[in-house]
């Protein structure tokens, strides 16, 4: 397909979206280097940061790399609202009225980022009440609590798709079985026909230590039967994936711990290990963040500070046992309201594979 061309207004929208997603020049430089293998200072100049971003867009158009730039940016910061809005505006245009056809590779890839599920929120609606579920940050943390969290982080990976970048988070429930959201890969392939060669699971994706470089471990999916079990987005929204056998020889990787019979309750703590916006792994703790449990629907709702790229993350209780699979969030003035699928509900469908 031909490289898409942007209108004057679209260039302005993309410039604003890139500045919003990468508020500092250093972050934009890192994205370009890691996603496009391009050094920003070599290809463009600009007296101000805004000028630099404008020149970058023009450079990408001239070099036929606009699609790479857009997909690289969205892959890096999938939850940014301006990038998502820009992606939606491209994918929703009629092919007869624009240079960006619906069949273009660029818009086909961008359509993926409209795949975030909606939340049927059943808890409090006033920000003041919701903010009460996010207590002030403590002056100190219990070391044993943090140690247990670090142990569970050994199960977490960033899920990447060739040509798109980071699309979500996943975690091991056995040494070679990975759990994530159905919608994480549903947007990549409409009928969920996964090509294992396109999927990478990056473990140990952490902020680099000042004294010692952190080495990531990357695995693919098992070529035959990569999907063991699944439930669509509108139901339990999960995928149980088989990782290639070489993960059995990996060091420093282990599955999460869980108690499928234990249900969380309103007001309890919920702690999420995730790759927000495709970034290095973060922990989002909350000592009393759960606003409601809806066992009949298999769902849990809570207040947190998650963001795009967190889909497919494990939600832990105070004992660091998995209680839910994080699936969606909606930004509010104080943070975000979130929704997950109860692990106990998923377990009923995947138990036969965990033996």
Q: Looking at residues 17-21, what average pLDDT do you find?
A: 88
Q: Write out pLDDT tens, residues 185-241.
A: 875 444 566 788 889 999 999 887 645 556 789 999 998 889 999 999 889 999 999
Note the pLDDT of residue 109: 41
* Cα 65 to chain centroid, rounded: 24
Domain with residue 322: its CATH number is: 2.40.10.10
What is the 3-class SS of the chain, one letter each residue?
A: CCCCCCCHHHHHHHHHHHHHHCCCHHHHHHHHHHHHCCCHHHHCCCCCHHHHHHHHHHHHHHHCCHHHHHHHHHHHCCCCHHHHHHHHHHHCCCHHHCCCCCCCHHHHHHHHHHCCCCCCCCCCCCHHHHHCCCCCCCCCCCHHHHHHHHHHHHHEEEEEECCCEEEEEEEECCCCEEEECHHHHHCCCCCCCCCHHHEEEEECCCCCCCCCCCCCEEECECCCCCEEEEECCCCCCEEEEEECHHHHHCCCCCCCCECCCCCCCCCCCCEEEECHHHCCCEEECCCCCEEEEECCCCEEEEEECCCCCCCCCEEECCCCCEEEEEEEEEECCCCEEEEEEEHHHHHHHHHHHCC
Residue 317: count other Cβ atoms within 10 Å of its Cβ.
20
Four-residue CA torsion sign, 177, 181, 186, 187: negative
Q: Which domain holds residue 309?
A: 127-144+257-353
Q: Write out pLDDT tens, residues 121-132.
A: 888 777 667 666
Q: Give the end of a domain, one of 231, 249, 267.
A: 249
The reply to whether 120 falls in a domain is: no
Whether residue 132 is found in the same domain as residue 263: yes
Whether residue 345 is found in the same domain as residue 263: yes
The reply to whether 202 falls in a domain is: yes
Measured CA to CA, the distance from residue 96 to residue 119 in angstroms comes to: 34
Measured CA to CA, the distance from residue 264 to residue 236 in angstroms comes to: 17
Q: Write out pLDDT tens, residues 138-182.
A: 667 889 999 999 999 999 999 998 877 788 999 999 999 999 999
The reply to whether 177 falls in a domain is: yes
| Mean of the per-residue pLDDT values of the chain | 82
The reply to whether 119 falls in a domain is: no
Whether residue 242 is found in the same domain as residue 262: no
CB 230 within 8 A of CB 238: yes
Q: Give the end of a domain, one of 224, 249, 274.
A: 249
């Amino acid at each position: 397909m031909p490289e898409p061309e942007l209108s004057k207004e679209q260039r302005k929208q993309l410039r604003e979206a890139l500045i919003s997603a990468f508020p500092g020049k250093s972050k934009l430089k890192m994205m370009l280097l890691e996603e496009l293998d391009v050094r920003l200072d070599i290809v463009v100049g600009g007296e101000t940061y805004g000028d630099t971003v404008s020149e970058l867009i023009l450079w990408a158009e001239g070099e036929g790399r606009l699609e790479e730039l857009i997909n690289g940016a969205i892959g890096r910061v999938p939850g940014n609202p301006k990038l998502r809005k820009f992606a939606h505006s491209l994918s929703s245009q009629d092919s007869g009225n624009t240079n960006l056809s619906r069949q273009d590779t660029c818009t086909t890839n961008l359509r993926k980022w409209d795949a975030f599920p909606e939340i049927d929120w059943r808890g409090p609606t006033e920000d003041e009440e919701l903010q009460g579920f996010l207590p002030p940050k403590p002056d100190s943390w219990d070391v044993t609590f943090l140690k247990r969290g670090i142990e569970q982080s050994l199960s977490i990976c960033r899920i990447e798709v060739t040509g798109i970048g980071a699309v979500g988070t996943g975690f091991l429930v056995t040494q070679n079985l990975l759990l994530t959201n159905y919608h994480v890969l549903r947007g990549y392939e409409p009928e969920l026909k996964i090509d294992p060669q396109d999927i990478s699971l990056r473990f140990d994706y952490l902020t680099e230590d000042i004294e010692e470089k952190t080495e990531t471990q990357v695995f693919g999916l098992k070529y035959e039967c990569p999907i063991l079990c699944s439930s669509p987005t509108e139901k339990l929204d999960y995928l149980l994936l088989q990782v290639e056998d070489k993960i059995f020889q990996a060091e420093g990787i282990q599955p999460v711990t869980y108690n499928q019979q234990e249900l969380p309750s309103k007001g309890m703590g919920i702690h999420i290990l995730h790759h927000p916006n495709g970034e290095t792994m973060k922990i989002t703790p909350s000592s009393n963040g759960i606003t409601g449990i809806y066992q009949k629907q298999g769902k849990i709702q809570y207040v947190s500070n998650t963001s795009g790229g967190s889909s497919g993350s494990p939600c832990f209780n105070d004992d660091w046992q998995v209680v839910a699979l994080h699936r969606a969030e909606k930004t509010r003035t104080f943070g975000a309201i979130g929704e997950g699928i109860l692990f106990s509900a998923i377990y009923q469908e995947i138990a036969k594979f965990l033996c």
